[in-house]
Amino acid sequence: MPARFRREMRWIYFAPLIAMGLLAAVVLWRVQAQVTSVDWVEHTDQVIRRAKDAQLLLRDLAIKIRSYWLSSDKRYLISFQDSDRRLKAELEAIAALVSDNPPQGRRLLDISDLKGAWIDTLQTLMAEPNAGRFAAPRLEQLDARFQDASDVLEQIVDEEDRLLQQRLSRQHEADRFIFVLVPLLSLLVAVALSYFGWREIQRASDQFATAVTKEAEANRAKDYFLATVSHELRNPLNSIMLLASIVLSNQKIDGEVRQRLKAIERAARTQAQLIEDLLDVSRIESGRMRLDVQSTDLPKVVAAAVDSMRLAAEAKSITLTEIIDTNVTRMAGDPRRLEQVVWNLLSNAIKFTPKGGKIQVRLERINSHVEIIVTDNGQGIPSSSVPYVFDRFWQAADTGESKAGTGLGLSIVKELVALHGGTVTAHSEGIGKGSTFTVRLPLPPATAPLLEARRHPTVSPTGDIAAASRLDGLSVLVVDDDPEACEALTKLLGSLGARVSAEDSAQGALRTLDGSLPDAVIADIEMPVLDGFFFARELRNREQHRDREIRVRVPLIALTAYGRVEDKIKILASGFDSHVVKPVDLAELSATIRSLVAARAA
């Protein structure tokens, strides 16, 4: 027996068996008592019946001896002897029945003595030559002996009847006691079992609460670890991408250098996407993945995802085509997450399609749902592996090629589609025959009102400076302790027409803001000594204490490498108006600045 099981084997687990055993013992006891009572009734009946028979035989003896004496008929004497033998047998049977009762035994001895006395009297009477003359007194004496024996037999009957009544009375008292004892015992057992059951339930609840607490602590530790890792990885990626964007904005560099810089930028973006995938998996596992559900133009979402992957396809000379069904209407969903679904499927198709291959993306409406179908003529999937392609960290093992990746993209697709109420399936005829991924999303009933389309700053997935919003005439203050990131942001925002100033600490930024107020402030969260949270709170506090005439709320944007929901809540609660997650996308940052400045002006 395992030690853990022995530790858990408390005696309370046997309490129901003990209680059932006690009740069974009581029931068996009463059954045995009832059987004994029946035996005693039968025993008493036998004693009384045989005693009555003996009394009848005594009367028969008296009649026969008198008849013989009056008629001298030998037949009466023979009948007397027969009745005497029967009487002797009855007395022996009674003696056997009352052998455990000494008083009854003494009464039987008295009967034997009386019997011996009347036999002696009878023999004396028959031996006398002139017995007839004295017959009457002798017969009266003999009748008295018979009567005495009959009286003793009556005493035996009365004693047996008294013992029977006494036993029945005890039986009735025991029955009344059991009538009270069994319900009381049952009640006590029920109370005891309820109490110990409650204790066990409480103990199990405490253990469950402890396990839940430990699990929550483990999840928090995991989330903290992932957040820390993502922060430490995003910071250098932010510098790489910003500096690469600055160099790429220089039109004087030659084509070869530009291509290498683009490769560096693509590698950095791939690394950023891997980090985002890990965080998405963490959100899914902890149940904190949330959708920003709104009225979504699915054709536009699919087209945007295809456009974002077109350069990657062209780099491998892959023909990427899309077929969009114009009958697909708006649906309720998260456009950013739906675009991520299509992007992940396309990224997977491009990865496993050789140069010169073909990929087709088709969006069509079928009855009450829409289908997004991504088909390629790449290396395909072994039929035995198709059921597992959406498992986390799954990698094709029989393709003969090694492809980079974490094996998370398709599992995230499955979870995101499920959150939208849809399904995703994979199909492949085998190695070298390509693969097809089909996403099915339900459409709302025609009568169901959809949410109004929300207008958010759009994010360009390529990070092209040409796609970023212009910031002409706007003054921006950048606060970051990282000089490289600070310089890169200054140059990039300046290339969009903004007048940019920079500070490397919260104290310096607050001093600058005491002199003049820019149109927007961009502050890093992770700064030494006084971090971005302190800076935001202090800035908002100073704004509250300014004169009413010059009280202006400066748009404040946080730069953070933390992307968790609780991090976003903390950022907004400290006084920031918005946030941008590192590595910074210039188009997203510029759109956010213009949006906040426009909102303040309105």
Per-residue three-class SS string for 145-168:
HHHHHHHHHHHHHHHHHHHHHHHH
Is the confidence at residue 26, as pLDDT, over 60?
Answer: yes
* Span 260-284, average pLDDT: 72
Residue 325 pLDDT more than 80? Answer: yes
Q: What pLDDT, on the 0 to 100 scale, is given for residue 556?
A: 92
Q: Is the pLDDT of residue 447 over 50?
A: no
The whole-number pLDDT of residue 373 equals: 93
pLDDT value for 454: 43
What is the predicted pLDDT for the residue at 229?
67
Identify the pLDDT of residue 193. 73
Whether pLDDT at 451 is above 50: no
The partner residues of 441 in beta bridges, in order of sequence, read 370
Q: Provide the mean pLDDT of the chain.
A: 78
pLDDT of residue 448: 42
Across 369-383, average pLDDT: 89
* pLDDT at position 455: 41
17-21, 120-124, 177-181, 400-404 — which is least confidently predicted?
400-404
396 or 535, which is more confident:
535
Residue 54, C-beta contacts closer than 8 angstroms, at least 6 positions apart: 87, 90, 91, 94, 153
CA gap 121, 279 in Å, rounded: 124
- Is 453's pLDDT higher than 50? no
Residue 6: pLDDT over 70: no
Comparing 281 with 63, the larger pLDDT belongs to 63
Tokens of 40: 């005693």
State what percent of residues in the chain have pLDDT above 70.
81
Residue with tokens 């190695």, as numbered in its chain = 431
More confident residue, 437 or 483: 437
* Comparison of pLDDT for 385 and 287, the residue scoring more: 385
Q: Quick one: pLDDT at residue 126?
A: 63
Task: Give the model's pLDDT for residue 461.
Answer: 41
pLDDT of residue 432: 85
Q: Is 367 exposed, middle or buried (0-12, 13-18, 19+ CB in 10 A)?
A: exposed
The pLDDT tens digits for 259-271 are 777 777 777 777 7
The whole-angstrom separation of Cα 181 and Cα 175 is: 9
Tens digits of residue pLDDT in 328-357: 888 888 888 898 899 889 988 888 898 889
573-593 average pLDDT score? 85
455-498 pLDDT, tens digit per residue, is: 443 333 434 544 567 888 899 999 988 888 888 888 888 888 88
- Average pLDDT, integer, range 387-398: 73
pLDDT for 463 equals 44
The per-residue pLDDT for range 140-153, each reduced to its tens digit, is 777 777 787 788 88
**Average of pLDDT values for 409-432?**
88
Q: Is the pLDDT of residue 402 over 50?
A: no
Average pLDDT of the segment spanning 26-52: 78
Identify the bridge partners of residue 524 per DSSP, sorted by sequence position: 559
- The region of weakest confidence among 64-73, 201-210, 360-369, 573-582 is 64-73
At 557, is the pLDDT very low, low, confident or very high (cuts 50, 70, 90)? Answer: very high
Using pLDDT thresholds of 50, 70 and 90, give the confidence band for residue 54: confident
**Stretch 519-531: mean pLDDT, rounded?**
87
**Cβ–Cβ under 8 Å, residues 311 and 462:** yes
Tell the residue number behind the tokens 């029977």, with chain if given: 164
CA separation for the pair 431, 377 (Å, rounded): 10
Mode of pairing for the β-strands spanning 556-560 and 578-581: parallel
**Pairwise CA distance, residues 586 & 492, whole Å:** 8
CB 308 within 8 A of CB 462: yes
More confident residue, 172 or 478: 478
- Torsion angle defined by CA atoms of residues 506, 508, 511 and 516, in that order, rounded to the nearest 10 degrees: -100
Return d(Cα 105, Cα 269) in angstroms, integer.
115
**One-letter amino acid of 186:** S
**Mean pLDDT along residues 553-579:** 83
pLDDT-derived band of residue 391, with 50, 70 and 90 as boundaries?
confident
